[in-house]
């Protein structure tokens, strides 16, 4: 049998990244990870995943690598699980005549300022917003809007750089920080523009869309302001039928307005009164372990569906399970150092009834602090049950058990705490 290759351009470092490669292998194709730094992905070594070192910030280098690999074996598809490389994957797939979203649509969608303009022009509800390029313009935009306002980059994910600013001084300070940033944490250049937008106080949801089908609605929990760190999700969201229909309808309209409609899209929304408004559309699978929650609650494997779509095969979106799944992320509320003995920590959380998974991301003695974005999460607990309240309560109890087991001592301003002094 002839070997076929699925090219994976970079990856997210947690969550579904390694699952893309595993699903590809299960479907009979060989995954190959193209990456600037293979050491970024420990799972690649653990899973014996083939990697090719490529400057993935350079489209021409990606094309050269693809041509070289195509000389070895037929290329079956191109994908990425990373927000930052969706445009590169779409461009390469288009060049090779392989399935994928329109590269121009993805590129426009990743720029939140262009995305907002497109959605507003199509009549899709969005918060009030202004796109600015200077600190002074940011302050003027905020002054013309009811405070507080949200100030954030026009590109990014995982709440990176997103902040609620209570007054004009905070707007100026955060705008100055964002506009001084010329590259993201992957070294990819960032535009010199930011968004100043209306702050919506209603409940937050996401709708996971595949093609133009709304697959499931997710209830989202956000941590303490002024950051917008997602600290939990419930799948499916427990909603009145009319509200769920309105969320799904708005999400699909947004995807269609942006000319997407291929593969997965993660649409984030907040309620403005009873009206859903789109915060952003991400032309990729959701992060935050949401695909895993969907698999456990609904029996729909969105990672497998995305790989199938990239291979030109029909996705499998039929619901096979009727349960509820919740995740809660562990975060710290103060600076400190993790206890030196974390023995059995996850086992204690996993012993909570209905908890099916518990994990810690940090090790003994590591410093922790309040989360400013997704990178500040310390671990998670997933619970599955027959009813939404039961799953949510179990996840809450599980993460409380995790937190109680992971003791740490706050650092004082005048001295650093030695790791061996941390409380157990």
| ∠ Cα 4 6 11 (to 5°) | 160
DSSP-assigned letter for residue 183 = B
- DSSP H helical segments within 180-325, as ranges? 241-257, 290-298, 302-310
> What is the C-alpha separation between 6 and 233, in angstroms, rounded?
31
Token pair listed for 157: 């994910």
What is the SS3 assignment for 39? helix
Give the bridge partners for 336, in sequence order.
368, 410
Give the bridge partners for 379, in sequence order.
330, 360
CB 335 within 8 A of CB 413: no
Catalytic residue positions, numbered: 284
CB 91 within 8 A of CB 78: no
> What is the C-alpha separation between 284 and 286, in angstroms, rounded?
6
**For the sheet containing 367-368, what is the strand order?**
367-368, 336-338, 408-410
What is the SS3 assignment for 176? helix
């Amino acid at each position: 049998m002839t070997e076929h290759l699925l090219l994976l351009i970079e990856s997210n470092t947690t969550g579904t990244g390694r699952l893309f490669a595993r699903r590809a292998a299960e479907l009979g194709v060989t995954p190959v990870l193209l990456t600037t730094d293979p050491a970024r992905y420990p799972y690649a070594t653990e899973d014996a995943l083939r990697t090719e070192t490529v400057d993935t910030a350079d489209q021409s280098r990606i094309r050269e690598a693809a041509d070289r690999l195509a000389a070895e074996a037929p290329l079956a598809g191109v994908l990425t699980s990373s927000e930052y490389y969706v445009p590169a994957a779409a461009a390469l797939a288009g060049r090779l005549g392989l399935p994928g979203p329109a590269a121009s649509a993805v590129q426009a969608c990743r720029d939140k300022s262009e995305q907002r303009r497109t959605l507003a022009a199509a009549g899709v509800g969005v918060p009030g917003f202004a796109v600015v390029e200077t600190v002074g313009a940011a302050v003027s935009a905020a002054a013309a809007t009811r405070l507080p306002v949200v100030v954030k980059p026009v590109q990014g994910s995982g709440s990176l750089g997103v902040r609620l600013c209570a007054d004009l001084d905070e707007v100026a300070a955060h705008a100055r920080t964002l506009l001084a940033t010329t590259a993201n944490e992957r070294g990819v250049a960032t535009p010199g523009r930011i968004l100043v937008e209306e702050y919506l106080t209603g409940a937050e949801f996401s709708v996971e869309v595949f093609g133009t089908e709304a697959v499931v609605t997710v209830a989202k929990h956000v941590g303490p302001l002024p950051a917008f760190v997602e600290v939990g999700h419930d799948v499916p969201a427990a909603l009145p039928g009319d509200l769920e229909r309105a969320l799904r309808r708005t999400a699909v309209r947004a995807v269609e307005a942006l000319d997407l409609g291929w593969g997965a899209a993660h649409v984030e929304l907040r309620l403005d009164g009873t009206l859903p408004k789109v915060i952003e559309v991400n032309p990729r699978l959701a992060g935050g372990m949401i695909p895993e929650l969907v698999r456990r609650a609904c029996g729909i494997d969105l990672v497998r569906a995305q790989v199938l779509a990239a291979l030109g095969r029909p996705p499998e979106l039929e619901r096979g399970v009727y349960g509820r799944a919740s995740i809660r992320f562990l975060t710290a509320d103060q600076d400190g150092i993790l206890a030196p003995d974390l023995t059995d920590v996850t086992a204690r959380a996993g012993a909570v009834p209905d908890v099916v998974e518990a994990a810690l991301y940090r090790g003994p003695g590591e410093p922790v602090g309040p989360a400013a974005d997704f990178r500040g999460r310390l671990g998670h607990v997933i619970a599955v049950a027959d009813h939404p309240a039961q799953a949510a309560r179990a996840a809450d109890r599980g993460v409380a058990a995790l937190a109680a087991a992971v003791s740490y001592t706050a650092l004082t301003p005048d001295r650093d705490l030695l790791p061996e002094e941390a409380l157990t």
